[in-house]
Chain A
Amino acid sequence: MTTETPSTCDIVGRGNRDGAQLFRDWFTELGETAEKGEQSAYVFVMGSMNEILKTFDLPVVFPEINSLQTAVRRVAGDFLSEAEDYGYSPDICGYVKADVSVQLRGGEHPMGRIPKPSIAVLTNACNTYVKWAEIWERMHGCPMFTLDVPGTRQAGTQSWPGDQDFENDRRYVQKQISELITLCEQVTGKKFDIDKFREILRHANTMSVGWRRVIEANKARPAPFNALTDGTIFLGVANGFRGTREGADYFNDLVEEMEYKATNGIGALAEEIYRLVFIGVPCYPIFRRFNELFSEWGGSFINSTYLWFASGGTNLGFEYDLAKPLESMAEGTLINVRDAMDSMFHQDRMLVDMVDDYAVDGVVYHPIKSCRTVSTGLADSRGYFAAKKDIPSLFVESDMMDSRVISEAQMKNRVDAFFEGLASRKQKAAIAGKEN
Chain B
Amino acid sequence: MTVFNEWGGEPLDEIMYHCRELVEDTTFPTIKRWREQGGKTLGHFQVYFPEELAHAAGMMPVKMCGTMLEPNNADSHFGSYLCSIIKTSLEAALSGGIELDIFVSHPICDAARNLAAIFGRNFDYPCQILYLPQNPNSVASADWLSQEYGRMRRLIEEIVGHEVSDEAISVSIEVFNENRRLMRELYEIKREAPWLVTADEAYALVAIGGVIPREEHNDLLSSVLPMLRERETRREDRIRVVFEGAFCEQPPLDLVRMLGRTCYVVDDDFLIGMRYLLEDVPVTDNPLLSLSEAYIEQSSYSPVQHDNRKPKEDMLLQRIKESRADAAIVAAAKMCEPGLEEQVAYIHMLDDEKIPYFVSEFEENMSSFDQLELQIETFLENILFA
Partner-B contacts on A (CB < 8 A): 86-89, 91-93, 96, 124, 126-128, 130-131, 133-135, 138, 144-148, 150-155, 165, 168-169, 171-172, 175-176, 179, 344-346, 348, 367, 369, 371-373, 375-381, 383-384, 395, 397
Contacts and interface: CB of A to CB of B under 8 A. Distances in A.
A88 B344 contact: yes
B161 interface: no
B166 to A, nearest CB: 18
B29 interface: no
22 contacts: A88-B344, A89-B332, A92-B340, A96-B341, A127-B109, A127-B110, A130-B306, A131-B303, A131-B337, A131-B341, A134-B341, A147-B135, A148-B133, A152-B129, A153-B129, A153-B151, A154-B116, A168-B148, A172-B144, A175-B138, A376-B86, A379-B77
Contacts of B135: 124, 145-148, 176
B386 interface: no
B134 A146 contact: yes
Nearest to A378: B79
A35 B284 CA distance: 57
B81 interface: yes
Looking at A128, A150, A165, A373, the one whose CB has the most chain B CB atoms below 10 A away is A150
A128 B80 CA distance: 18
A175 B116 CA distance: 28
A130 to B, nearest CB: 5
Contacts, number: 162
Contacts of B335: 91
Contacts of A150: 131, 148
B33 interface: no
A89 B113 contact: no
A348 B345 CA distance: 37
A383 B77 contact: yes
Contacts of B138: 148, 172, 175-176, 179
Contacts of A383: 76-77, 121
Interface range for B: 35 or more
A375 B129 contact: no
Contacts of A348: 121
A168 B140 CA distance: 10
B383 interface: no
A380 B127 contact: no
A217 to B, nearest CB: 30
Contacts of A138: 345
Given A151-B131, A369-B81, A376 B110 contact: yes
A373 B80 contact: no
Interface in B115-129: 116-118, 120-122, 126-129
Contacts of B77: 379-380, 383
A214 to B, nearest CB: 28
A103 to B, nearest CB: 13
